Chains A and B, each alone.
Chain A
Amino acid sequence: MLDRDSLILTVVMAILGFLVCTAVLAGRAEREQAAPRQAELVRLIDDRRSLVADLDQAVERLRADVFRARTRVNRNDVRDREAARVAAQLAEQAGTVPLTGRGLVVELAPSKRQPPSQQEAGAYQIHDRDLQLVVNALFASGAEAVAINDSRLVSTTPIRSAGGTIVVNFRPLSPPYKVHAIGAERRRFEASEIARRFRRWTNLFGLGFELREERRVEVPAYTGRVTISSATPAPGGARPAPEPDPSKAAGGR
């Protein structure tokens, strides 16, 4: 009787060992499957981001090389020298050369406070519209070159939001948003509507708004395409575009 019992006990214990091991292996396999997929994606995104940054740097370097080579070639002829001077001036205006000078640094950050309700959450964030208004006000106060988080603004630069993140020059930015503006005057910017509004919002919603005057503000070169393509009217005329809804554009404030 005892032998039969111990045999059954042994067999069932063997089954138990088998099952426990199976469960452990399965659980480990599942965890391994879930974790690396996310890590893989993060790695992929990081890889592409650093690749883009490398290419940006290469563009900047090559443009500087081209500029130097052209200046050297054009040194001998008076007319060529004049053309090089114009080209340098245009490059400065187009934003394809980095600039340094006296200016303002404006730092915008979303609020650290907890919004009281889901509907009011928008008031505690920085929107693309806020950045647009700040940048416009900076240009209006005399800025010659502006960059947001080291992304140079040129005349064709869009500042848009894409699903909660602000995209400048088609690159996503993350807060805080540091706006560097060379040549902007502090007094004129502080008198602007958006600056006064931000002072109020800082008290009301706790938005980050910092304004510094700096002797040496650096603005990098624009590294995107500088070729401009234009749209032509469709044959037969087009319907006028619908007016944007101003209440939606205001960002819920």
Chain B
Amino acid sequence: MLALAGLIIGALVALLLQPSVPAETTRYVAMGMVAAVDAAFGGTRAYLDRTFNDRVFVLAFASNAAVAAGLVWLGDQLAVDLTTAVVVVFGVRIFQNLAALRRRLFGG
């Protein structure tokens, strides 16, 4: 519940402050977001499984986002579109985490 409240508070802050992102880095930020969303779901799952480790969670959150953004940047330097790789990998993981969460919450 608190996690959801945090999410909403963060979104509201962003909407109020309207931070600007340089146009050329928008792609990387978006890819980092996909990785961060995965980390958030993973963290929530671990929290419900009672295996939550704060250090692991914060590290996974930061490193996943950084690596995803970095990978896309590297792809751009090599003229290979690696956004698909990031989207596929983290997309699959997001759905897996979501399924686990559902099982945990509803016992399905």
Contacts and interface: CB of A to CB of B under 8 A. Distances in A.
B17 to A, nearest CB: 9
A8 interface: yes
Contacts of A20: 11, 14, 33, 36-37
A166 B3 CA distance: 64
Given A10-B2, A12-B61, A5 B29 contact: no
Nearest to B36: A16
A9 interface: yes
Interface string A1-36: 000111111111111111111110111011001000
Q: How large is the interface on A (under 10, 10 to 19, 20 to 34, 35 or more residues)?
A: 20 to 34
Interface stretch (B19-27, B70-78, B98-106): B19-27
A169 B24 CA distance: 43
Contacts of A23: 21, 26, 29-30, 32-33
Given A12-B43, A27-B26, A17 B19 contact: no
B20 A26 contact: yes
Contacts of A10: 2-3, 5-6
A18 B29 CA distance: 12
Nearest to A31: B26
A4 B54 contact: yes
State the majority secondary structure of interface residues on A: helix
Q: How large is the interface on B (under 10, 10 to 19, 20 to 34, 35 or more residues)?
A: 35 or more
A192 B32 CA distance: 69
B79 interface: no
Interface string B32-70: 110011001001100100001010011001000100000
B13 interface: yes
Contact of B23 (A7, A17, A25, A30): A30
B92 interface: no
Contacts of B5: 10
Contact of B14 (A5, A7, A22, A27): A22
A14 B7 contact: yes
Interface of A: 4-23, 25-27, 29-30, 33
List the 10 closest pairs (A to B, CB-CB), nearest first: A17-B10, A21-B14, A26-B21, A14-B10, A10-B6, A13-B6, A18-B10, A14-B6, A17-B11, A17-B7
16 contacts: A8-B54, A8-B57, A8-B58, A10-B2, A10-B3, A10-B5, A12-B61, A13-B3, A15-B10, A16-B10, A20-B14, A21-B11, A21-B15, A22-B14, A23-B30, A23-B32
